[in-house]
Structure 1
């Protein structure tokens, strides 16, 4: 049976041709290009269906941080011990600027063996492995070890960054997010069922502890508008997109946002994944083009997103 399509049929069919049908139960796509405006499509889901965007959330948190710096609410040298009760622990000396570029040295492996076993069991049972709040995050930070301050991807680090910025502004993370990007997070509204590549249903990943690192759920219309504000420069915290440090051999990083050279194009991007969702957002800023892909699948969206953006 042919998949149901809502929105721009041509855009939907372009994406369908690039994705493995047996691994992707539903997805939404947004594309922006000069002369074409914003095009939206959903396959196997309605246009207003909400998807978990996973670590694209980190790029958004990077913008919240950059916006707070612009407002004078925090600085890059603000240390975590100035926000949380961390005393003389190693994590206390970590700065917000280090967190924003994954160079704090904060490790994600702060769980004891029993806690790690519970996480593995939850993942095997297609359940949400995260159940904490901000107090749980602070307890993890007190136990966290630091490696050398070289780029090391850290979910714990971005959770700390988002909650720290929120607390310094007198808000919680949801309030901070809504202040800068009102209506972007639509958690609980028209949720699409997340699935792994085998089609197995997954529980939502909607805890508060790691909210700034990957908790947003939203629809393709909101993400398309967000991408448009990035292209025209009207979004708050735009300096987060400017690469200021090397992340790995082929990638540079700003505040959360990654920049790479692909087929002669400079792409600014981030991807995301949870138990039942994968996502990708990419901008070719010189060409004024953008693509967002939200999939109700654990199959990665990166390659398809890049091909659509460069088509």
Structure 2
């Protein structure tokens, strides 16, 4: 632990050293973060204030929106402030905290997406037994399991990183404290640690992706026996999920399921699962969901109408 205290802060190399690119990134990421906050808060309020909250699909969507806000808030505000102020440092303690929270909320989001795919699979393949299988107790249990899985994963990753000595170089070729860039500046041989990280994060991402892909194969196979209208509705919902899965899991698998090394492209791929995919979640789950759009119109119309009446 004494060696670790020799490095009190880390310096991010960031996305670019060009001033114009930095200003463009500041405006773009600020827009993305505001869109994430506004979109997910609209979903949270709309679901909470409507009867949809008692339906399993929207109960899970409520948790996904919460995780989107928590997950992106681990990185994006710091990135935006660094771009605005031209400051690229982070203390050792905050860096370790960022590692933990990113993996904690990130894995919870992964598991919630998996539960949502299971929910759609049950709804389409077992419609008559849907409310029995996806009852409130089971939904609560699945969410608790997602949080427990996130905690186990995050503590295992955090324990490997926090035990490493950092006594020399402190420049990280990234815009946040990711594990592989940190391994690169540690003052010890980190090959075994890197393999363990890849086995943990990489395999979680890959296994989850395979499970999700398998659930959609089952859904598509089952849809052959549905009416044309039922197929269109189910495919629309599944299409939304598949879009989120590709945006989130594709870059994640590339980033973690490989030998412990870093590439310049890592920062670009990281943008997809830290900012871009969470930004599209509210759009995908609202604009392509008729029930959600109706609920949002009903809730916000009532709120505006009641406020005008009160005034």
Instruction: Give TM-score, length-normalised by structure 1.
Output: 0.29
More strand by share: 1
Structure ID, larger Rg: 2
More helix by share: 2
